Amino acid sequence: MLTLLAGLGFGLSLIVAIGAQNAFVLRQGVRREHVGLVVAVCAASDVALYLAGTAGLGALVVSHPAVVEIARWAGAAVVLGYGAMAARRAFRGDEAGLAAASDGALPDAGRRARPVLLTALALTWLNPHVYLDTVVLQGSLAASYGDGRWSFTAGAIVSSVLWFLGLGYGARLLAPVLARPGAWRVVDGVVAVIMLVVAVSLLLPVLAPR
């Protein structure tokens, strides 16, 4: 049980930080657009990565840095693209988001699931930090627990599932606040800034002078 709780705490320390993936989940939760799909993709991805790390995939990732570099550039492109769209919504206003927040409608049927699915997958799997955190770092810590490594991993998995469920479905509690004029512009403005910061953090190690 102590090992499981250690994994739970470690998992929360990794995932709670605001990033591109969390910002996307939060926005989808507030808009009530395909929340179950987004939560399932993010949680299932973490489960797969945690299990891979504990099974020893971390050593393979470390020995093939080209994989991380490809993910770095592709992830930065995706994050910048999504950030640009958020900045555009912030500049023009998001009437659809405002209407959804004000009347409590469920707009899933108004937007196809495929673009949402692809965005969730891209923001998750094209982020090199996800491999370093969930596969390499978590895998290394889990291995230090010996026979208890799977209990540690189970704790990390529970933390991930609980976090995404809470973030995705709890975000709708913000709907009354976001029903105010201009509120969605603030949300999208914050999302755009977060995406820009994430993209810079991804590329800084490559672009910084040595």
Q: What is the pLDDT along the chain (210 residues), one digit of tens a residue?
A: 667 776 677 666 666 666 778 888 888 888 888 999 999 999 999 999 989 888 876 666 656 667 667 767 777 787 788 788 878 877 876 555 555 554 554 445 456 888 899 989 988 888 777 777 787 777 777 776 777 888 888 888 988 899 999 989 988 887 777 667 677 778 778 778 877 877 777 677 666 655
Q: Contact 165/39 with Cβ under 8 angstroms?
A: yes
Q: What pLDDT sits at residue 190?
A: 79
Tokens at 61, concatenated: 């990732």
R_g of the chain, CA atoms, integer Å: 18
Q: What pLDDT sits at residue 40?
A: 96
Tokens at 154, concatenated: 């189970």
Phi, psi (deg, nearest 5) at residue 58: -55, -40
> Residue 72: inside a domain, yes or no?
yes
Q: Rounded to the nearest 10 degrees, what angle do helices 35-55 and 20-31 cross at?
A: 150
CA 107 to chain centre: 22
> Residue 142: inside a domain, yes or no?
yes
User: What domain count does the chain have?
Assistant: 1
> Residue 210: inside a domain, yes or no?
no
Provide the whole-model pTM: 0.71
Q: What pLDDT sits at residue 109?
A: 45
Q: Which residues span the domain enclosing 122?
A: 2-204
* Angle value at C-alpha 36, between 150 and 67, nearest 5 degrees: 55
Q: What pLDDT sits at residue 121?
A: 92
Neighbours of 140 (CB within 10 A): 14
Tokens at 189, concatenated: 């403005």
> Residue 84: inside a domain, yes or no?
yes
- Render 19-70 in DSSP notation, one character per residue: -HHHHHHHHHHHHTSSHHHHHHHHHHHHHHHHHHHHHTHHHHHHH-HHHHHH
